[in-house]
């Protein structure tokens, strides 16, 4: 390749790059990103029923600088799950347990006896960030452990049933 052709090609590249930057489309991060952070775009929607986790979006690719084109874009959703208190004390054989949950629509609850044997298990709905549960079977007086979990997150509370 001769020197004139190479120099001409370089001028064209510089002019095109300069025009792109001056147009505003090539300057700074995209909306919603912090300065200096790579901006990524995607045309894929989040999967239906998304609750939590870090996963590739189907068919999504990154256009961020320094990222290999075609690499999956990941999105992380953080969930929260809690009992309203660490210990529930009730004179009822059907104690009502309650708590909160965020970015999740349901959780599994299980009540274990003092020996760790599961007595009852169920799915609780989380609506407007709150849940409530009363076991469908009577619990005799004693101390129990309640486990509440979803998406790999498990929280625990103590349930004490006294004689009523």
pLDDT in tens, the chain (164 residues): 444 444 443 333 333 334 343 444 444 333 333 333 322 222 334 445 544 444 444 444 445 555 555 656 567 889 999 999 999 999 999 999 999 999 999 999 999 999 999 999 999 999 999 999 999 999 999 999 999 999 999 999 999 999 86
* Nearest-angstrom CA–CA distance, 12 and 107: 60
- Domain CATH for 98: 2.60.40.1930
Whether residues 93 and 112 share a domain: the answer is: yes
Q: Looking at the 3D structure of the chain, how many domains does it have?
A: 3
**Residue 26 is part of which domain span?**
1-31
* Nearest-angstrom CA–CA distance, 127 and 33: 31
* Nearest-angstrom CA–CA distance, 70 and 132: 44
Whether residues 91 and 155 share a domain: the answer is: yes
Region label for 19, one of left (φ > 0), alpha (ψ between -120 and 50) or beta (otherwise) = alpha
Q: Quote the distance between the C-alpha of residue 160 and its chain's center.
A: 32
């Amino acid at each position: 390749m001769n020197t004139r052709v190479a120099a001409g090609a370089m001028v064209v590249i510089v002019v095109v790059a300069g025009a792109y930057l001056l147009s505003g489309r090539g300057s700074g991060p995209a909306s919603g990103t912090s300065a200096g952070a790579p901006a990524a775009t995607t045309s894929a929607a989040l999967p239906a029923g998304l609750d939590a986790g870090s996963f590739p979006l189907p068919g999504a690719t990154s256009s961020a600088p320094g990222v290999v084109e075609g690499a999956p874009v990941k999105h992380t959703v953080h969930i929260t799950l809690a009992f309203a208190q660490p210990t529930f004390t009730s004179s009822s054989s059907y104690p009502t347990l309650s708590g909160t949950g965020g970015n999740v629509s349901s959780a599994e609850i299980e009540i274990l006896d003092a020996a760790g044997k599961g007595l009852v298990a169920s799915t609780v709905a989380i609506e407007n960030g709150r849940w409530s549960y009363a076991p469908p079977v009577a619990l005799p007086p004693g101390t129990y452990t309640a486990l509440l979990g979803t998406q790999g997150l498990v929280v625990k509370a103590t349930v004490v049933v006294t004689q009523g």
